[in-house]
Amino acid sequence: MAEHFDAVDVIRTKRDKGELSEGQIDWVIDAYTRGVVADEQMSALAMAIFLNGMNRREIAQWTQAMINSGETMSFSSLSRPTADKHSTGGVGDKITLPLAPLVASFGVSVPQLSGRGLGHTGGTLDKLESIPGWQANLSNDRMMQMLEDPGCVICAAGSGLAPADKKLYALRDITSTVDCIPLIASSIMSKKIAEGTGALVLDVKVGSGAFMKTLDDARELAQTMVNLGTDAGVKTVALLTDMSTPLGKTVGNALEVRESLDVLAGGGPADVVELTCELAREMLNLAGVHDADVEEALKNGRAMDTWKSMIRAQGGDPDAPLPTAKHTETVYADADGVITELDALAIGVASWRLGAGRARKEDPVQAGAGIEILVDRGQKVTKGTPLFTLHSDDTDRFERALESLNQGWSIAPIDESVPTPRQSVVIEKIN
Ligand code: URA
């Protein structure tokens, strides 16, 4: 790098609400990746950005510098167009599982480079690893083969894409600088642009179980990411979707695979089907396929056939029984009335405490652990109606899980409450 900057100057610029220059951003990201800028200096800069923000030009430059920190991939040699989906993460969000084979079954390749879960939101790879034999790590060559046939792949992102983000994300996690729109947008989009997809649909979650708790924040994050993608030549749209209540009726790894199989078999919960079909239509549209009957492809087994090929190609047995937890416990309604609340965060934390998620990167997860939600918001119940089934391999996890779960549901007398079933998961589209 020709120009040399000083980390203290860069931090001071942002601390004093100044604009970082192109040279400053390129230098600080490169120097941090190489270990020349120390963690404590990058922590100070991340906090200054958290407090004082970045403008559109700075965010674009920051994203480009993170892309430049590692390798980039290209799918241009494939015979089919590509479309990818990224979700900002939510409770019960298993959509990638039915979505990737559904879209691929219409001739559009879907490269889903995914991660493991940290905290109360589950990771796609953790879910798939509950399928006996299934392998997350693939070589680039194998990945490219799978994108031709069966046309989709869900695998671990290699460490070569945007290594600056990997380092910075770990630092943000321990310095309380994760929930910052410029940093989240550049983190997600650096990886997606480096991956080389032609089209990208973003599922930006809003509500208690999401990073973005308000619609205004979710809108700003979505617009920032759409601008970054579009400016980089990736056709990008975002859907803002509801995460006040978990998606579907299961939270936990094998439980969510089972529910995804229900969707691929033409059934499954209405909200999971709705979101899968909406996202599939957006991905297919961006990739130039405009008349796809995605609902029919779930009903007639076409998406299921692609799913089975995808699972087999990664060593998994799609017909093997899924693991189940050793113990279960059921929670019952304590009164007659209407279910007025099923809170995503409380249910997500409870599932995590049952063993479905991890507190540290290196922790194992339990394949069978999690929660089945047996009722809907707005449903009438009587005292004694089963509301939830908890699953875990360790009975001593139930108490702490219940502490969280019991903060997350409520029953109101029928004559005093207005039932609030979820109307639609998709709130708004941003492009
Ligand atoms: N996911 C990411 O990849 N990065 C963030 O900053 C937040 C969520």
pLDDT at 2 over 60: no
pLDDT at 119 over 80: no
For the chain, give every residue range classified as CATH 3.90.1170.30.
Answer: 327-412
- Per-residue model confidence (pLDDT) at position 241: 98
pTM of the model: 0.94
- Per-residue model confidence (pLDDT) at position 116: 78
Residue nearest to atom 2 of ligand 1 (CA): 188
Mean pLDDT of 288-303: 97
Is the CB of residue 169 below 6 angstroms from any atom belonging to ligand 1?
A: yes
Mean pLDDT of 207-213: 91
User: Which tens digits make up the pLDDT trace of 306-317?
Assistant: 999 999 999 999
- Per-residue model confidence (pLDDT) at position 359: 75
Of 85, 125, 187, best ligand 1 pocket probe by most atoms within 8 Å of the beta carbon: 187
Three-state secondary structure of the chain: CCCCCCHHHHHHHHHCCCCCCHHHHHHHHHHHHCCCCCHHHHHHHHHHHHHHCCCHHHHHHHHHHHHHCCECCCCCCCCCCEEEEEECCCCCCCCHHHHHHHHHCCCCEEEEEECCCECCECCHHHHHCCCCCCCCCCCHHHHHHHHHCCCEEEEECCCCECHHHHHHHHHHHCCCCCCCHHHHHHHHHHHHHHHCCCEEEEEEEECCCCCECCHHHHHHHHHHHHHHHHHCCCEEEEEEEECCCCCCCEECHHHHHHHHHHHHCCCCCHHHHHHHHHHHHHHHHHCCCCCCCHHHHHHCCHHHHHHHHHHHHCCCCCCCCCCCCCEEEEEECCCCEEEEEECHHHHHHHHHHHHHCCCCCCCCCCCCCEEEECCCCCCEECCCCEEEEEEECCHHHHHHHHHHHCCCEEEECHHHCCCCCCCCCEEEEEC
Is the CB of residue 188 below 6 angstroms from any atom belonging to ligand 1?
A: yes
pLDDT at 22 over 90: yes
Mean pLDDT of 254-268: 98
Indicate which atom in ligand 1 lies nearest the CA of residue 115: 3
- Per-residue model confidence (pLDDT) at position 418: 64
Q: What is the CATH number of domain 83-173+196-319?
A: 3.40.1030.10
Cis peptide before 150 (omega within 30 of 0): yes
- Per-residue model confidence (pLDDT) at position 421: 67
Distance 188 CA to ligand 1 centre (A): 5
pLDDT bin (cut points 50, 70, 90) of residue 174 is confident
- Per-residue model confidence (pLDDT) at position 420: 65
pLDDT at 117 over 80: no
Mean pLDDT of 74-88: 95
Of 178, 181, 193, 361, best ligand 1 pocket probe by most atoms within 8 Å of the beta carbon: 178
pLDDT bin (cut points 50, 70, 90) of residue 87 is very high
Lowest mean pLDDT among 93-102, 161-170, 286-295: 161-170
Mean pLDDT of 292-309: 98
User: Which tens digits make up the pLDDT trace of 311-346?
Assistant: 999 999 999 999 999 999 999 999 999 999 999 999
Is the CB of residue 187 below 6 angstroms from any atom belonging to ligand 1?
A: yes
Is the CB of residue 212 below 6 angstroms from any atom belonging to ligand 1?
A: no
Residue nearest to atom 6 of ligand 1 (CA): 184
- Per-residue model confidence (pLDDT) at position 158: 79
pLDDT at 159 over 80: no
* Degrees, nearest 5: CA angle 196-39-363: 70
Is the CB of residue 184 below 6 angstroms from any atom belonging to ligand 1?
A: yes
Mean pLDDT of 87-99: 95
Query: CA 107, CA 80: separation in Å to the nearest integer?
Result: 7
Distance 62 CA to ligand 1 centre (A): 14
The residue to which tokens 């279960």 are assigned: 328
- Per-residue model confidence (pLDDT) at position 118: 64
| 391 vs 211: which has the higher pLDDT | 391
Indicate which atom in ligand 1 lies nearest the CA of residue 187: 4
Q: What is the CATH number of domain 327-412?
A: 3.90.1170.30
- Per-residue model confidence (pLDDT) at position 4: 78
- Per-residue model confidence (pLDDT) at position 419: 58
Indicate which atom in ligand 1 lies nearest the CA of residue 184: 6
User: Which tens digits make up the pLDDT trace of 218-259?
Assistant: 999 999 999 999 999 999 999 999 999 999 999 999 999 999
Mean pLDDT of 48-59: 97
For the chain, give every residue range classified as CATH 3.40.1030.10.
Answer: 83-173+196-319
Question: Over the chain, what is the mean pLDDT?
Answer: 94
User: Which tens digits make up the pLDDT trace of 359-414?
Assistant: 777 788 999 999 999 999 999 999 999 999 999 999 999 999 999 999 999 999 98
Neighbours of 389 (CB within 10 A): 17
Whether the Cβ atoms of residue 225 and residue 202 lie closer than 8 Å to each other = yes
Residues assigned a catalytic role: 86, 165, 172, 187, 191
